[in-house]
A and B are shown apart, each in its own frame.
Chain A
Amino acid sequence: MKLGFNLDLARPSRRHWLGYLLLAPAVILIALIIVYPLLVSIDLSFQNVNIARLDQPRKPFTTANYERLFSSPDFWNATWVTLKLVVIVSFFCFLLGLGTALLVNNKFKGQALARLLVALPWAVPEVVAVVIFAWMFDSSFGLINWIFIKLGLIDTTVSWFSSPTAAFIVVCITMIWKGYPFVSIMMLAGLQSIPEDFYNAARVDGANAWQRLVNITIPSLMPVLGVTLVLVMLWVFRDFSIIYILTGGGPLKATQTLSIMTYEQAFSFFKMGYASAIGVVTLVVCVIASRLMIGRAPDTI
């Protein structure tokens, strides 16, 4: 039925002034607090500035920051650390997250409680997660050292935060514990959208549990898997709080990611121009990587 009124808001002709008016406050605020700072930081990255003062005249244009960046071993070290961290943390987040989701998706008594519990670390602030793991991995009285000695894995206490490898492992464990409940939450939602009929039909055809997992569950989860993977990788890539409070990027730059390096250059050494250059490179990598990955995933969840 065709209505005589001009009421259908979805019609292409509905370029109503109200639509623009409603967007205006968001556009203005975003321009002020996101776009303008972003332009300032790009501008800073092409100047040789130490302390950012906007009321001082602009320094001359230079690409020195970027040249210095790409020839600096610290930058390549940070890139390598970031890459290792992203791969390791995302891999275990997925393994554990998917496993947990499949487990909790079974029907059993107390399922609601279990679902709530497995996602709990997601809600714990990163600072608190760091407190927990810093204390559990404490070198003198930490629980982990005691358990490992009891199990015979180590002979004497390990000072986790003074060895480069050990510190890196602690960072990984903290991030996995904090990050994988998110994967579980997303996977559980994905699992619940798979029609029960698929499984019934497969059972009738005699498919066993493994075949059902590989041929129904995993393919149906693919779209959610793709998006979740991108979100987890972006989180690890950009995370600052966990590493900064846990290790500060040390020892010997073993846990210094690009984010930590950016912050340290800016606020420990006050090389704002150089730090901005690192930050801009980080952003460009994030945007390109996520476009490539999301672009390939189907566009529905």
Chain B
Amino acid sequence: MKTRSLNRIILYASVVAVCAFLVFPIYWLFITAISPPDQLRALPPKFWPDVPRWDVFAAIIRERPLLLWLSNSALAALGSVIISMAVSVLAGYSLSRFRVRGGQSLGLFILTAKMLPATLLVIPLFGIFRSVDLIGSLWSIILAHATLIIPFTTWMLKGYFDTIPRELEQAAMVDGCSPFGAMVRVILPVSAPGLAATALYGFVLSWSDYAYARTFLTNAQTNWTANLGITTMKGEYISNWADISAASILVALPVVVIYLFLERYLVGGLTAGAEK
């Protein structure tokens, strides 16, 4: 009995230590944001500011075009998610239900496309977008992010459709639905949670991108995404770490919230197709 309670104590201590180590950098980001700038240059560092600056978030929104950057990020993410979901819902369903000639090789190609380094694809995309005059436009990153999202969503959705019994469609077709009608009226409504999780995951992929935004949008300040905006703040001659931290928190917040919703679905999606 005594060793058991000792084990408990060790267990709790290690859990607390691990969580502290993982979460401390996030805590420090928060503390940096709400500290007055002069306290950031004080040694020893303060682990809780004497007078927290709670208005730092309002101030940064006033002083920097942060709302514009955030809305650009959101627009780009929405655009690329809508495009990607539109094609990968159909393709995922087809790969899950039909034996299409070439379907398997297409699936394999999509898996390989996950391995494409963004730094390779960004070069031809830059050339292509230049010749059709998309550099500096949000459309450039919407299309570029679709190259990141489609391989993931197609496999996630195929995996999700695989878990839905075929009897559902069969029943619908006995009742007189066409195959397409069975998909739209029966399977898609049943899959709503999976569709939502997949779309959110695509949103996170697009929201987190830096490479494409840096390449296509650097000279178009009004179209900067939030990530690009933050890095330009970091690059200024004197880095104002309180401001940068506050902006970073606002940028990280949406994806952290999505993550809290997504956690249950995460694993299935991340591994989808990986075993092939």
Stretch with Cβ within 8 A of A (4 or more), from B55-63, B121-129, B188-196? B121-129
* Residues of B173-212 contacting chain A, CB below 8 A: 173-174, 179-180, 204, 207-208, 210-211
Complex CA distance for A287 and B115, rounded to whole angstroms: 7
By a CB distance below 8 angstroms, the chain B residues around A25 are: 86-87, 90-91
Q: Contact: A127 with B259, CB < 8 Å?
A: no
Is the CB–CB distance between B150 and A26 below 8 Å?
Answer: yes
Whether A108 touches B12, Cβ cut-off 8 Å, given contacts A44-B124, A54-B128, A117-B22, is: yes
Using Cβ atoms and an 8 Å threshold, which residues of chain B touch A140?
41
> A296 to chain B: which residues have CB within 8 Å?
none
**Contacts A7-B173, A132-B25, A227-B274; A118 near B18 (Cβ below 8 A):** yes
Given contacts A40-B124, A227-B275, A282-B120, contact A23 B91 (CB under 8 A): yes
Q: How far is the CA of A114 from the CA of B23 in the complex (A)?
A: 11
| Contact A18–B98 (Cβ < 8 Å) | yes
| B271 & A259 in contact (Cβ 8 Å cutoff) | no
Chain B's closest residue to A280 (CB) is B120
Whether B123 pairs with A276 at a CB distance below 8 angstroms is: yes
> Of A7, A117, A234, A244, which one neighbours B23 at CB under 8 angstroms?
A117
- Whole-angstrom distance between the alpha carbons of A38 and B116 in the complex? 9
Q: In the complex, what distance in Å separates the CA atom of A272 from the CA atom of B266?
A: 37
Cross-chain pair count, CB within 8 angstroms: 309
Q: Which residues of A contact B122 (CB under 8 A)?
A: 263, 266
Chain A interface residue count, CB cutoff 8 Å, equals 108
Interface of B is mostly: helix
CB-nearest residue of chain A relative to B20?
A: A117
Q: Is the CB–CB distance between B256 and A123 below 8 Å?
A: yes
What string of 1s and 0s marks CB contacts (under 8 Å) between A65-95 and chain B?
A: 0000000000000000000000000000000
Closest chain A residue, CB of each to CB of B93: A22
**Which residues of chain A have C-beta atoms less than 8 A from B121's C-beta?**
34, 37-38, 41
Q: Is the CB of B259 within 8 A of A37?
A: no
Let me know if A167 is at the binding interface, CB within 8 A: no
Query: Is A9's CB under 8 angstroms from B169's CB?
Result: yes
Contact A20 B116 (CB under 8 A): no
B75 is an interface residue with CB less than 8 A from chain A: no
List 21 contacting pairs A-B, 8 Å CB cutoff, sorted by A: A20-B100, A23-B100, A26-B88, A26-B154, A33-B143, A40-B128, A52-B126, A54-B128, A110-B15, A117-B19, A119-B266, A123-B252, A131-B245, A224-B271, A259-B117, A266-B122, A266-B123, A272-B127, A279-B120, A294-B275, A301-B271
**Interface residue ranges, B against A (CB under 8 Å):** 8, 11-12, 14-15, 18-19, 22-23, 25-26, 28-29, 32, 40-41, 43-45, 83, 86-88, 90-91, 93-95, 97-101, 103, 106, 109-110, 112-113, 115-128, 130-131, 143-144, 146-147, 150, 154, 166, 169-170, 173-174, 179-180, 204, 207-208, 210-211, 214-215, 227, 230-231, 234, 241, 244-245, 248, 251-252, 255-256, 258-260, 263, 266-267, 270-271, 274-276
